[in-house]
Amino acid sequence: MDTIRWGIIGAGDVCEVKSGPGFQKANHSELVAVMRRDGDKARDFARRHGVPKWYDDADALINDPDVNAVYIATPPYAHKDYTIRAAAAGKPVYVEKPMALDHDACRAMIDACTLAGVPLYVAYYRRALPKFLAIKDLIDGGAIGDPRSVIVTHHRPDPPDLDPENLPWRYQPAISGGGIFVDMGSHMLDLLDFLLGPISTVEGSAGNQAGRYLAEDTVSAAFTFESGVQGVGNWCYCSAADVDRTEIHGSAGSVVFDTFAGGRFALTTPDGSETFDRPFPPHVQQPLIQTVVDALRGAGTCPSSGESAARTTWAIDQVLAGYRAARS
């Protein structure tokens, strides 16, 4: 394929700025069709973004001969089904994160794409942002010595205006796989996989302290990487504080950064501390989309595959296993 002609299934909020324009602005990439079950919304998105075609039926988009790659931007509950359908049509797939509701669904997606001979990529876009590439270069280059331990903290206040009768899908486990930990914590765990390698063992506990919905709102975990690096994490989404902090400590220094807020991060060594700034681009998925396009054209590789994303879902499954069992 010389030009990757994308069709989007589920052109919702994430497609407005984060991803949609990235398909139009990446080199050798075009956005040629969008689909939503609500045809009026699909038509409106296509009109505003200059997309030639719109559909209210996923199979019509998947089987459109002008579409040669499919981006699935629905909530996670639909990722497995649409991935299998796109793979059966011979179309490469780029799917939103988290990859699926659980690890078994991830494996089914990987197997379907393998059987069809099409690649599968997942939108853990931090793997391609300049900020995290710079942090990875520092770690891989020995700036902190040998990595030893990781501390992850993510706290956010409980939204005061949640309607228990009409919860956003991110708070509904049947649709999202969990709560905000699954939605945002997955980014943090996947980023650690990128920076330090796969997690080999993990255990955790979860609870719902505020009692405003069924999904977990507080999570703690301990994990060990294949390299031997050890880590702990705490995620609380009913806190008065607003904290986003990851610390990676090594034998000769440390690097500290936030995952969501912006481009700044700090390196501390015996020689002192230095602060860097690698701002996020306007369309945060565009750098990763470019790696997908390059990979499909045989001109590069993408750092976020079905296999790497499935590892993140596996880790989440281990952390939430007890909580899910108690709720079932």
Above pLDDT 70, what percent of the chain? 100
Name the E strands within the chain.
4-9, 29-35, 53-55, 69-72, 93-95, 120-122, 147-155, 199-207, 218-225, 230-236, 243-250, 253-257, 264-269, 272-277
Tell me whether residue 188 is in a domain.
yes
- Helices assigned H by DSSP within 142-285: 173-176, 180, 186-196
Strand 147-155 vs strand 120-122: parallel, antiparallel, or unpaired? unpaired
Among 108, 124, 140, give the residue marking a domain's end: 124
Q: How confident is the model at residue 187 (pLDDT cuts 50, 70, 90)?
A: very high
Q: Is residue 66 situated within a structural domain? A: yes
Rounded to an integer, what distance in angstroms lies between the CA atom of residue 202 and that of residue 137? Answer: 26
Q: Which helix (H) or strand (E) holds 286?
A: helix 286-296
Nearest-10 crossing angle of helices 306-327, 186-196: 140
Alpha-carbon Rg for the chain, nearest whole angstrom, is 20
Mark which of 124, 139, 154 sits at the end of a domain. Answer: 124
Distances (CA, A) of 88 to 53, 111, 262: 22, 11, 39
Give tens-digit pLDDT for 129-165: 999 999 999 999 999 999 999 999 999 999 989 998 9
Q: What pLDDT is recorded for position 3? A: 98
pLDDT for 113 equals: 98
Is 71 part of a structural domain of the chain?
yes
> Residue range 222-248: average pLDDT?
98
**pLDDT higher than threshold 90 for residue 232:** yes
Instruction: Give pLDDT tens digits for 271-305.
Output: 999 999 999 999 999 999 999 999 999 999 999 99
DSSP secondary structure letter of residue 117:
T
What is the tens place of the pLDDT at every residue in 28-54? 999 999 999 999 999 999 999 999 999
Where b means 16+ CB within 10 Å and e means fewer, 159-182 reads eeeeeeeebeebbbbebbbbbbbb
Comparing CA positions, the residue from 114, 121, 84, 115 lying closest to residue 99 is 121
Q: Give yes or no: residues 113 and 182 share one domain.
A: no
**Alpha-carbon gap, residue 152 to 258, rounded angstroms:** 9
Q: Is residue 51 situated within a structural domain? A: yes
Give me the number of domains the chain comprises: 2
pLDDT, mean of residues 208-225: 97
Of the listed ranges 124-128, 138-142, 159-163, 258-262, the least confidently predicted one is 159-163
Same domain (yes/no): 114, 137: no
Provide the 3-class DSSP secondary structure of residue 326.
Answer: helix
**Cα–Cα distance measured from residue 259 to residue 91, given in angstroms and rounded to the nearest whole number:** 32
Residue 69: per-residue pLDDT: 98
Rounded CA-CA distance 179/186 in Å is 11
Mean of pLDDT over the chain: 97
One domain, residues 156 and 30: no
pLDDT attached to residue 294 = 98
The predicted structure's pLDDT at residue 1: 80
Domain region containing 70: 4-124
Answer whether residue 326 is part of any domain: no
Q: Per-residue confidence at 211, pLDDT binned at 50, 70, 90?
A: very high
User: Would residue 50 be called left, alpha or beta, if left means φ above 0 and alpha means ψ between -120 and 50 degrees?
Assistant: left
CATH number for the domain spanning 244: value is 3.30.360.10
CB contact set of 281 (below 8 Å; sequence gap of 6+)? 129, 130, 287
State residue 147's pLDDT score: 98
**328 has a pLDDT exceeding 90:** no
Confidence band for 13, pLDDT divided at 50, 70 and 90: very high
Structural domain contains residue 324:
no
**Are 116 and 14 contained in the same domain?**
yes
pLDDT the model gives residue 168: 96
